[in-house]
Amino acid sequence: MSTLADTRAIVTGAAGGIGAALAAELISRSATVVLADLSETVTDTAAELGTGAHSWVGDVSAVAGIDELIAFADDRLGGVDMYFANAGIIGPPDLGSSDADWDTVIDVNLRAHIRAAQALIPRWKEAGAGHFVATASAAGLLTQIGSAAYSVTKHASVGFAEWLSLTYRDDGIRASVICPMGVDTDLLRAAGSSGPAQSAVTEAGTVLTPAAVATIALDAVEAEQFLILPHPEVLDMYRMKGSDYDRWLKGMSRFQNRLNEQNRLNEETTHAGND
């Protein structure tokens, strides 16, 4: 029997993609789950999963939303043993054009994690157990060509989960962070169908299905593993970065220039075809 049997979990960003896949895999391992999302389609996703799945619609980046979500989980599940901070957005391209651009992505990709932890850690300390799982990205270990906000917030997400892991380990609390490269989700498509941000991901390695990521992630969660890499090659890239930072930066700059040139040529071809 899975060690996740009878676990009570919240998964955010669960209307589709990795979130829905995590919820499905949790239920297959006999956990009960609240699927949370801004989109009302999360109710359909939960209904398809059947018994053990409950849906909640709201903003998981706001303090009030998180409080309501946890209260809902307490009512439906009887408590929260695991929190999967999975909701995320790609954010503005390049540097963005305003503080508002950055505020939104910081709220969703980082502050949502902080606010959920602030609500849950005290009760988990009292219980002597709990597990916080953040969906970050390989961009949190490497970088994201084409989007400063996404890269910065995913780095911060990794750093926050790391801090949780070392700070509360002796209280029985665990933290994990999932850092995939390409996954076939709406988030990947939101990076732009032919832009350098998406090309940087799709050219770096295999694009995995959400279900494959969920299986790998929950196997690692059961093993209480902190750093979860659905694409194992990310570890080699991370080691290369750390071994010679300047060389890595120069190589990434060349890679970005190649992608930009490729994107320019694609746009010229498309425009010529439309003439």
Contacts of 32 (CB under 8 A, 6+ apart): 6, 7, 8, 9, 52, 53, 54, 77
**Which residue is associated with the tokens 């060389």?**
247
Buried b (16+ CB within 10 A) or exposed e, 151-177: bbbbbbbbebbeebbeebeeeebbbbb
**pLDDT at residue 272, rounded to an integer:** 54
At residue 206 the predicted structure's pLDDT band, cuts being 50, 70 and 90, is confident
pLDDT digits (tens, 9 = 90+) for 148-173: 999 999 999 999 999 999 999 999 99
Q: Is the pLDDT of residue 273 over 90?
A: no
Mean pLDDT score, 175-200: 73
Which of 29, 45, 47 is CA-nearest to residue 37? 45
**For the chain, what percent of residues have pLDDT higher than 70?**
89
Q: Which helix (H) or strand (E) holds 55?
A: strand 53-57
- Catalytically active residues are 137, 150, 154
**pLDDT at residue 35, rounded to an integer:** 98
Helix (H, G, I), strand (E, B) or coil at 81: coil
pLDDT digits (tens, 9 = 90+) for 66-108: 999 999 999 999 999 999 999 999 999 999 989 999 999 999 9
Mean pLDDT score, 226-244: 97
What does DSSP say about strands 173-178 and 130-135: parallel, antiparallel, or unpaired? parallel
